[in-house]
Amino acid sequence: MALSINTNNGAAIALQKFSANNNDLNKIQNHISSGKKVDSPKDDAATLAIAQELLATYAGTGAVRDGLSRASATIDVAVAAGEATADILVEMKGLAVQASQEGLDQTSRDALNSAFTALQEQVTTINDSASFAGSNLIAAGAADQNVLSDDSGATIKVAAQDLSSDGLGLTGQSLGDAGNAASALAALDAAITDASSKLANLGSSANRIETHNVNLGVQNDTVAAGIGNLVDADLAADSAALKSAELKQALGAVSLGIANAAPSRILSLFGG
């Protein structure tokens, strides 16, 4: 190779290699500091686009799961109140059985009727207070709920179950006399059966909502893993690559120094 003080090809090549090594080192350091191998479109536009779509899916599913969790809580509150109502119905039946006796004195009958009325009022109080975030599935006039099941707008219907005194057919029942007590007893038998059916419906809805929520959670975990595989840095590999890049950078600096010193050898041709 000809020696020239105007053109130093060796230095140019060494500088190119040094710059390339420096870029590699910066890229690896960015991977380590950010934890991502794809952090912007210039890293890998296609992969980032795919990751963004998956992130949108992940966020949408997360929002759906929040709605499902609220629905589960609403149903749980309704079920708890419904179970309390069912217990009260059993207690009311016991009072009605006692009051159906023909020879019962009026004082005892009045006491039983007073307790019966108090329990009716308690049913109303329990059902009216069975709300979660403003939603009540068992109060009189409660509306069905359509809960989002995916981010495309599909829904799961949670049917309201009227467990109020009126909804259970207990409005107007009393134990004022043996005839009324017999009527109340028949109404309570029907109410207990009705309440059991309505609680079963609520339980079925709760299971469906919970199962779907769990399945969406598994799906989202898979999506999250997929996003990580696309954009997350392999820190173990980057750690090894960092050592290699640092060594290459050091050697590149030495090589560049040697290449820059080459023109000075021209002086030796002239006895310098």
203-222 average pLDDT score:
96
Residue predicted with more confidence, 176 or 159: 159
Q: Residue ranges per domain, the chain? A: 9-35+233-269, 71-202
Q: Which helix (H) or strand (E) segment is 170 a member of?
A: none
CA nearest 142: which of 125, 127, 121? Answer: 127
Q: How far apart, in whole angstroms, are the C-alpha atoms of residue 162 and residue 224?
A: 41
pLDDT digits (tens, 9 = 90+) for 167-179: 999 999 999 898 9
pLDDT the model gives residue 42: 79
pLDDT digits (tens, 9 = 90+) for 2-57: 556 666 677 677 778 778 777 776 777 776 777 787 877 877 889 889 989 999 99
pLDDT the model gives residue 270: 67
- How many percent of the chain have pLDDT more than 90? 59
Q: Is the separation of the CB atoms in 37 and 28 below 8 Å?
A: no
Residue predicted with more confidence, 178 or 188: 188
Residue predicted with more confidence, 246 or 85: 85
pLDDT the model gives residue 96: 95
pLDDT tier at 244, thresholds 50, 70, 90: confident
What CATH homologous superfamily does 71-202 map to? Answer: f41 fragment of flagellin, N-terminal domain (1.20.1330.10)
Given a cut of 70, is residue 245 above it in pLDDT? no
140: which 2 tokens? 């009189």
Q: Locate all alpha helices (DSSP H) within 35-142, ordered by sequence.
A: 41-99, 106-128
- How many percent of the chain have pLDDT more than 70? 88
Q: At what angle do helices 178-231 and 41-99 cross, to 10 degrees?
A: 170
Instruction: State how far Cα 163 lies from the chain centre.
Output: 30
Number of Cβ within 10 Å of residue 126's Cβ equals: 20
Residue predicted with more confidence, 9 or 265: 9
Q: Which helix (H) or strand (E) segment is 240 a member of?
A: helix 235-261
Angstrom CA distances, 213 to 62, 121, 154, stand at 10, 36, 14
Q: Which residues pair with 156 in a beta bridge?
A: 147
